[in-house]
């Protein structure tokens, strides 16, 4: 049984979630070999998020992009001219300095013990907690991969993907439609550059007009945030009106055709994903889902995709470099 704890309370949520041991990882893997491992990562993340709140969604996106390529093996962290982090979908990832900071401290405390893959999984959890999510117990014991190629990033979900394509990409790594909706709900925090939104506002599919799924009352607001021929690097909230808080407002925005990304708004166009989104909102007549609780379950499941354990992989001394 897993326990979800609000950072503001000692209230224990006694909920049946997922087994504590997944794919040979387990909760408390470092309890004897490096007892302070999780607390070091937590304090490091807390320090960085306090200094720069954008670190939280950055780390969440980073672990997501890592797990969809070769599994959760920290291959996203490796430097190199043709490494994953050089691929177009990964160019704007941020938070590498947080992982490096935590790794430096862990190497000083427990040399060669804690993997970069585990640091990333723990950091993503701790980062969301800092912006209001419930905590959850992260099974650890991952080892680091030795391969990182930009050419292997084609399966990463894209902001232009239809629901059908998104479902396929998630299914390919063992994640369900509910996992898809839950994890996309992580867009309740963070921002996106206008270059990934503007095409919906001015010339959607070469129509010289806006994406018809955008609420016409919301369109002027989006156009003012991302002016035509404006700065494509300007960033706007993914969850308009509540971009700094981990809450269910993201799904309410999608319900009201105020989703920022095309892929986000498309969740409302498919009966299966719409049903899960409605359950997160709490629409009468449907069995409700709590984003905070379901998010933890989905993250545990995702961060155990294709993990390397035992004698597979390695424990990198420096996260950005293969031993």
Among 48, 65, 70, 187, which one carries the catalytic annotation?
65
Contact predicate 30/87, CB 8 Å: no
170 HSE (CA, 13 A, CB side): 24
Pair of tokens at residue 211: 């994406």
Q: How many other C-beta atoms can be found within 10 angstroms of the C-beta atom of residue 94? A: 14
Q: How far is CA 283 from the centre of its chain?
A: 25
Residue 65 annotated to the active site: yes
What is the 3-class SS of the chain, one letter each residue?
CEEEECCCCCCEEEECCCCCEECCEECCCCCCCCCCHHHHHHHHHHHHHHHCCCHHHHHHHHHHHHHCCCCCCCHHHCCCCCCHHHCHHHCCCCCHHHHHHHHHHHHHHCCCCCCHHHHHHHHHHHHHHHCCCCECCCCECCEECCCCCHHHCCCCCCCCCCHHHHHHHHHHCCCCHHHHHHHHHHHHCCEEEHHHCHHHHHCHHHCCCCCCCCCCCCHHHHHHHCCCCCCCCCEEECCCCCCCCCCCHHHHHHHCCCCCCHHHHHHHHCHHHHHHHHHHHCCCCCCCCCHHHHHHHHHHHHCCCCCECCCCCECCCECCECC
Task: Write out the catalytic residue numbers.
Answer: 65
């Amino acid at each position: 049984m897993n326990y979800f704890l609000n950072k503001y309370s000692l209230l224990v949520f006694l909920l049946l979630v997922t087994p504590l041991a997944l794919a040979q990882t387990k909760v408390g893997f470092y309890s004897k070999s490096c007892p302070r491992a999780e607390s070091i990562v937590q304090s490091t993340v807390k320090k960085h998020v306090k200094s720069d709140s954008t670190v939280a969604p950055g780390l969440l996106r980073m672990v997501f992009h890592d797990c969809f390529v070769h599994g959760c093996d920290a291959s996203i962290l490796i430097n190199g001219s043709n490494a994953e982090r050089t691929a177009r979908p990964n160019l704007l990832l941020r938070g590498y300095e947080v992982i490096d900071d935590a790794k430096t401290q862990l190497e000083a405390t427990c040399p060669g013990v804690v993997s970069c893959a585990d640091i990333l999984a723990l950091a993503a959890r701790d980062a969301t907690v800092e912006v209001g999510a419930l905590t959850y117990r992260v099974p650890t014991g991952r080892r680091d991969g030795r391969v990182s190629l930009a050419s292997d990033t084609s399966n990463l979900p894209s902001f232009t993907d239809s629901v059908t394509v998104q479902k396929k990409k998630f299914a390919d790594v063992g994640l369900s439609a509910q996992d898809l909706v839950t994890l996309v709900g992580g867009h309740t925090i963070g921002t996106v550059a206008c270059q990934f939104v503007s095409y919906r506002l001015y010339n959607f599919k070469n129509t010289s007009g806006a994406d018809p799924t955008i609420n016409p009352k919301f369109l002027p607001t989006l156009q003012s945030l991302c002016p035509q021929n404006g700065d494509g690097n300007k960033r706007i909230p993914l969850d308009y009106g509540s971009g700094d808080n981990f809450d269910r407002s993201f799904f309410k925005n999608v319900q009201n055709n105020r989703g920022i990304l095309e892929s986000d708004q498309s969740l409302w166009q498919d009966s299966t994903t719409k049903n899960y989104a409605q359950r997160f909102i709490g629409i009468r007549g449907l069995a409700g889902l709590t984003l905070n609780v379901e998010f933890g379950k989905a993250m545990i499941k995702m961060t155990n995709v294709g993990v390397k354990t035992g004698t597979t992989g390695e424990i990198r001394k420096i996260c950005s470099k293969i031993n």
